[in-house]
Structure 1
Amino acid sequence: MYKVFIVDDEAVVRDGLKRTINWQEHGFELIGDYPNGREALEVMEHTVPDVIISDISMPFMDGLELAAAVSQKYPYVKMIILTGFDEFEYAQQAIRLKVSDFILKPITAHEMRDLLHKVKREMDEVAQQHEDLSRLYNQLKQSLPLLKERFLERLVVNGLRTAEINERFQYFGLTPLSPLQLVTVADIDDFGIRNIRTDTGHDTEILRYAAFNVFEEIANRENLLLFRTREERLVLVFSGEEDETVLYEQAYRIAEEARFYIDKFLKFTVSIGVGQACRTAEELPLSYKSALSALDYRFLLGKNRVLSILDFEGRPSYGNQPQSDWDRQLASVVKTGSIQEVHQFIQGFVAQLKESMVPLDSCLLHIQKVILSLMNTTQELGLGEDCRQIHLTDVYRFKTLDEIEAWLEETVSSVMTAISENRNHYTLTQIRKAVEYIETHYAEEKISLQDLCRHVLMSTSYFSLVFKQHTGETFVEYLTRIRMEKAKEMLQHTTMKFYEIAGKVGYGDPNYFSILFKKHAGMTPREYRDRHAKES
């Protein structure tokens, strides 16, 4: 409900408006009627209406004087003038005084209702605008921390012009930066041995916020700028130290303090890169990029460290370059070596990468070259889906060389296990094929080891080794046993002559057959047949 005053020196007019208009029906509440502007103005000291409907000609204080006083002291009150004077100068004065409506008397009840409807609609629109603006202001206040973070991120990551920097620093109430300036970037290594719930992400967010609180306490104490990037890194901006050595010492001290507290009290680790110093806010992106470059050396040196770009700049052009044939060596070791030999190979490879201190991109290329060699080897050996999928992009999942070393050892062990299983399966298949060949061709007198190896596509030395491993007998022993077993069957179930049986089992010389049979069965072929006949 909007509150209304009626101000008119004619009581009949006031009474008529009170009686003929259902104020509440139109969204208004009539809270007072007064004979002149002075009385209305006095009451407004403690009760201010939303609308004043006033006559123009009144004693002590007329309508225009009242409008002037209200406009000066209560500019938000809507003023409507009713007058019987149809003169241009009154209308001009009313416009200057920002009177909402200037209505000529007499006015009917119907016209008054239309007027009230119009006034209410206008006031509703103004109220809605104020409400929207109020809501937007509250939203802006709530969003200010995030807006400040995004501004600082743009400043440090992309760079801004001086005018915009000054304007935004003033808007967010930040202390202007002064030379020298320096950026440090902190990144969480991992969350230690905690059982992190990855389904909701709440646990990781709480831990990230805890790390931010550690940095925030230090930043507030040291008067530093702190913000989080979209990649969840924590960035500190140092400013105002003219001595470059002192500035670096301050950055190392604070970075080491933050690293220590997070490790000791939160039980997980961060690595922090310290960038190069710069003189102006426009140069902050250079310091930021160099801090990221320093942070990249975590890959070579390990986690939970403060890494300064000054420690890595000016190095010689990587004189101890990693060997170029690690990929070829890996393929050879995987094909012919043991798992222990492969692990030793990987440890040597990683140790050389660390020693070389090559940049991160170059280091990753060396690793991917080795992984590609491993992928090609698995394909050459026909492992297919027997070996778990290996991808070149797997290296980007890890933050340190030590993690990649452990992953490579696990991956190569899996590959070699698959190779071993594949070889065993292939060998067993070939041995079975050889046994079938022997049992089919045992009657051929000139069957030889060379014939058999050609049939199963294996070298005689390797075949002899694996055949003995799988059957417990040499080729000759196995062939002789098969021939003797077949001969026994013939001696038991046929009346064939001994020389005929010898020929049937691959011996052209019956005497040689008899000697071998006696050695195998402990008796001559005749004795064997006679004994079996008696038992039957």
Structure 2
Amino acid sequence: MYKLLVVDDELIERNALKYIISHNCREIGVIEEAANGREAISMAVTFKPDIIIMDIKIPIVNGIEASRAIKQFAPECRIILLTAFNYFDYAQEAIHMGVEDFIVKPATDEQLIAALNKTIDRIQLTRDQSDRQMNNERKLGRLIQHLEAELVLSILNGDIDEKVISEYFDIMNITFNKGFAAALHIHFNKGVIPISGEADQEMIKERCMEKMSTEAEKRGFICLATQSGSNIYFLVIFGPVNANQSEPDDITKFLQEVCKDLGDYFNVGITIGIGESATNPGELYNSFLQAKSVGRSTGDYGVIYYEDIEPKNQSLSYPLEEENKLCNSIIVCDETTALMLIDEITDWMGENISGLKEIHWKAYELLVIIFKTSAREFKLCEKDAKACFEEIKQLESVQAIRNYLKRVVKDIIKEIQLLITTDRAAASIENVCKYIKRNYVKDISLGEAAGIAGLSNFYFSKIFKYYKNMNFIDYVAEVRINEAKELLKSPDINIKDIGDMVGYSDPNYFTRVFKKIAGITPTEFRSKKIAIE
């Protein structure tokens, strides 16, 4: 709906215009009126009409002058002038001011409504174009954000070469002369009450990204960002204003401000690791490796430069904990976590092992551990690690080794997932279930059942729940209680004896388990059955 202001010094004319428009133009929602040019200007400020129909010959300030004044503060307002004078006397001046149309008095109702509808169509067309433009700008903004995150992540993982990085910069209209990588790590356990909620942590990470990017851009830097795991990674590029600035003094100040502001506001610890500056895109990967290594080599808060770390801290011991986590991630088929851990382990290799030959050996050792773990847990045939080593030896970069390890791990996870859904696993579970039904009186342990299935305890527990939709202990209890229900139909058998007969030597425990599964006690169950029969 559109707002209309009618301006005429004759009350009869104003009422007539309002009547005609309100009965013939549904798009007009609210109509206000003014009797002179001064009132028209005042109403245009407060009422903010979309359209003004204004007589030229009005007192105090004429329609031409009033239109000129209104157009200065409300250029989007559409003005239709009413005139009893020759159109040509005012056309040049009116066109210069941007007046929408003229209606020469006396005008018919049809002429008035036609001029008004034409103006409404033009307003709607302009609004539609504006909406499309805003929508396109929003889409473009989201696309640029996606490209920025994709670029940073690709450089971070070493999945991109210098030529492609330069192409990204061209697309985003970025001139790269100098830049550095930053890794922001948030210590959520700094406060008295650690921040453990996933939603809260994600919100804080988003705010940290916004704050870092905003503050960098205020100072003339271009800041691209992405999240990976628990860290936020930034590519900070020197803009034309600060291209000649020295480091680290002028950069440290604003980074320290970011650390302090975010840390104080959210009550968390912030560590920002800074890699060495790069003067060409091909050096950015090393800068990211250095920035990441800062966070792993120190527990301190604040801004820390890679070159300031003690050499002993730069050479960390092998990340055995990450290796164990990697094996566990493979076992539970958590591909996302497994690939992230490969990134961390291969980063360590690139930073701490000198010589590609030594990295080949370390990657081979990691594969041996992965193959043995998967073979042990799932009774798979152990893969030929030596054959893989022959392939690893042909790889000429840490990134190539990283990609090779990821491919192997993806294949193992697919094999495990296939195993879970194949007849082999189903048959193993069914064999166990038959064994339980024959031997429910015995104390059957999870280890005994897993041995029958030919699986490790961990994996057996996982696939048993997958197939039976309940855990192993609950299944055994259900089999026992179902058998107890059959025995309870006979009034001659003592309830305590029935408990013993289905594997429960403690009658109180038998009653609790029975009620948990059946919803009533054994005595109540027997009474109901006898009453029915």
**For this structure pair, what is the TM-score category when the shorter chain's length is used for normalisation?**
0.3 to 0.5
Structure 1 or 2, whichever has the larger Rg, is 1
What TM-score results when the alignment is normalised by the length of structure 2?
Answer: 0.41
